[in-house]
Amino acid sequence: MRRAPASGPIVARLRWGAAPEPPSGVIMEPNVSPPAWTKDADGWTSYFRGLAVAADVPGWILFATALGFGALAQELGFTIWHTLFISGFVYALPAQVVLIDQLARGAALAAVAFVVSVTAIRLLPATVTLVPLFKDPTRPRWMAIAAVHFCAVTAWLEGLRRLPDIPVHLRMPHFLGIGFGMLLQTFFGSLVGYMLAAALPPTISAALLFMTPIYFLLSLVANARAIEDKLAVPLGFGLGPLFYLVVPGFDLLAAGLLAGTLAFFWPKVRR
């Protein structure tokens, strides 16, 4: 997988409305050749091409990990409708798992909302790096609001990877297609995982449940670029269980704050 480009320079070069040149001037690398289908393509074509992206490998990884979420929700006693509601409307697996885990353990609702919100803060910089790529003033506002709903790790990575090669006027429908396709993968993955967890032998269910932690850990490792992002992973992993024993209910927040702060300042102190 191509590495996501560093966000700083893109943002500087894609400042909305700052450049008077035609939209085509926004394409980051003038030498990239757009995919063949973009020739004479209209918005719908671009949308369906985006949907097709979700049928590629990253989409199926998402489906598989959503199986784990569905299985977990079933184990924790959630109804299928609550499970699907969370998949569609929250649509970010870490937040989904935190949400059902905290609710099932009977945490106070305010604490649940707070922790879910903290996991969502990570989506802010992600959205900020992606929005300039599909920003299109000729499209209605609801499209942009729908598009940012699809900002979760998988769709975000695919958007960063593919949108720069696509002509600007086709980017919004293309990203809506990618995002909606990924949402369908999550939705049906949760549904199938929920059904399977009740029906399958316990060994297979255990493997489904095991998908969530291993996928989260690997995607943290895969997406960490800055040194503090990398340090935060083992620190959080180590401190999390300790805090769970000491302050259950506040363990994620306490471990996240302490480990994240340590990871952030550690490289600076050592220098």
Q: Which of residues 75-114 bind other proteins (CB under 8 A)?
A: 75-82, 85-86, 89-90, 92, 94-101, 103-106, 109, 112-114
Q: Closest by alpha carbon to 267, among 238, 220, 232, 219?
A: 232
Q: What is the dihedral of CA 146, 3, 118, 258, to 10 degrees?
A: 180
Alpha-carbon torsion (183, 187, 188, 192), positive or negative: positive
Q: b/e for 68-77, b at 16 or more Cβ within 10 A? A: bbbbbbbbee
Task: Report if residue 140 touches other proteins, rule: CB under 8 A.
Answer: no
- Of 23 and 35, CB closest to other proteins: 23
Number of residues that bind other proteins (CB under 8 A): 121
- Residue 20, CB-side half-sphere exposure with 13 Å CA sphere: 0
- Of 36 and 269, CB closest to other proteins: 269
Residue from 11, 19, 32, 247 that binds other proteins (CB under 8 A)?
A: 11
One symbol per residue from 17 to 56: x for binding other proteins (CB under 8 A), - otherwise; what is it? ----------------------------------------
Query: How far is 81 from 85, CA to CA, in rounded Å?
Result: 6
Positions 200 through 219 that interact with other proteins (CB under 8 A)? 202-219
Positions 56 through 75 that interact with other proteins (CB under 8 A)? 57, 60-61, 64-65, 71-72, 74-75
